[in-house]
Chain A
């Protein structure tokens, strides 16, 4: 390449280098911030109570500001899911009832119960009518959100089957 053309190219590519490096920096900081926000969201309720498993959000349609795919909620003794602010898991969309469903632990077994919601709660695609036992790998659909139940192997072998 001719020296003068190279000079113009090198001078203009300075801006490309600066922009790329600052994109790397910005994305890194943003990613780390996001990671901490998510970690904080996951442990917002102090975990003095033992956790019996994890509800992880595998799908979440747009329009829900409180939940996104990838969030994980530890399953406690008593976990309410619904639209109002006093629930353990809050899904702020109109097709979710105020208190939609509850997941609770009894005799070391995890159950889900529908709280007379308008649009229903579905476990593995079936609408929940009475309290239903849930196991590792089950999917729970409530309005726009799809949860996956994860129960750690150690706990499963010991108590929860």
Chain B
């Protein structure tokens, strides 16, 4: 007797694990004695995916499993590419991934008990500004931007963690306040954050914060005047920055015509474009290209490295995965019946979306290049943990969404069908 059975997302998990194993097995055979380390990482990461997925579907039933699976798929591509570039980096990245997903699960557990997070605007605002100022005082300069601090041998990028605080601060004001006067503290706070980021030369982060701020403002107030005002202000500030600040002009010029100074200012973009072009549709084959020539191939330019070796088809699929991930985040925000939760979910989804757009756009010369990481793919502990925090905010919104009368909570996010037969 056959029953009509809905397939669960297990098949997606198995495909992700198959991809992960295939990538690492291929890399293991690259060196002449088989590289055991690659096989160990393959097994370990696959186990982490499987265990995390089981935890999600058994303990956090309302939480969106597709978001988790997309994160697994993206991080798997990242692990394989990092291992191909540098084995040690990949091992550390796996550690960051485990740390990130632990933080994520901790947030999910805490979110069941945490209520009233919307009352602490002042704490969020002060903490954000202090964290943003820290690198200016005790920071180290890396890649042109002074936004790193050293903590016990590890370098941490505080602006990554401020993302969450910034969203919380913005949402805690916007959840009920609408008038210009009430929004003034928020405007001041946002302006201070932007100015600090400009001074630290972290233009990518500034662009992302600004975009997220405008989106949250529009979502909360539906007031097009605020949005137009912010955009005009941003345009004016951008133009002044272009005229006044040398490094902004260099970026814009390198974007408009990188070939004019292909060995100097335009070097990064030129190398990135050559890499993507030489890969073509199908890619040069894993281990056969020269992605190590691209500057910052492990962090900011990992998308170009992936496009070279895996091909444009997979690069396009990665963009599609981010689309789905952000779309699901927005969908969760829409289903929330608490304005604060809905706003932080919108903010977190927008944050991930703009971060992806800014770096992929920069790498393919769609917009001026600014150094931010590709969430879940680029190497970076701060980035990985912060991205997991943003997803944790989105997913905890689902947990806090109260079911409407007489309907089971599962109904809100779509039913989970036929697990047991």
Contact = CB atoms under 8 A, between A and B. Distances in A.
B408 A152 contact: yes
A17 B286 contact: yes
A1 B32 contact: yes
Interface in A9-27: 9-11, 13-18, 20-25, 27
Given A10-B287, A39-B415, A69-B418, A18 B282 contact: yes
Interface string B290-322: 000000000000000000001101100100110
A155 B403 CA distance: 14
B29 A1 contact: yes
Contact of A14 (B1, B5, B7, B311): B311
Contacts of B77: 21
A131 interface: no
A111 interface: no
Interface string A138-159: 0000000000001010010000
B288 A10 contact: yes
B317 A22 contact: yes
Most chain A CB neighbours (cut-off 10 Å) among B2, B4, B405: B4
A137 interface: no
A39 B414 contact: yes
Interface string A26-53: 0111011011101100110001001111
B26 A69 contact: no
B15 A32 contact: no
Interface residues of A, number: 50
Contacts, number: 142
B81 to A, nearest CB: 11
Contacts of A150: 408
Given A31-B66, A51-B406, A61-B1, A24 B73 contact: yes
Nearest to A35: B414
B29 A20 contact: no
A50 B283 CA distance: 57
B310 A14 contact: yes
A95 interface: no
Interface of A: 1, 6-7, 9-11, 13-18, 20-25, 27-29, 31-32, 34-36, 38-39, 42-43, 47, 50-54, 58-62, 64, 68-70, 72, 74, 150, 152, 155
Which A-B residue pairs are the 9 nearest by beta carbons?
A: A70-B417, A10-B285, A35-B414, A51-B406, A20-B19, A70-B418, A1-B29, A11-B285, A39-B414
Given A52-B406, A72-B411, 10 more contacts: A10-B26, A11-B285, A11-B288, A17-B19, A18-B311, A24-B73, A31-B7, A50-B405, A51-B407, A69-B4
9 contacts: A11-B285, A14-B286, A18-B313, A20-B15, A21-B313, A32-B324, A34-B6, A69-B417, A152-B408
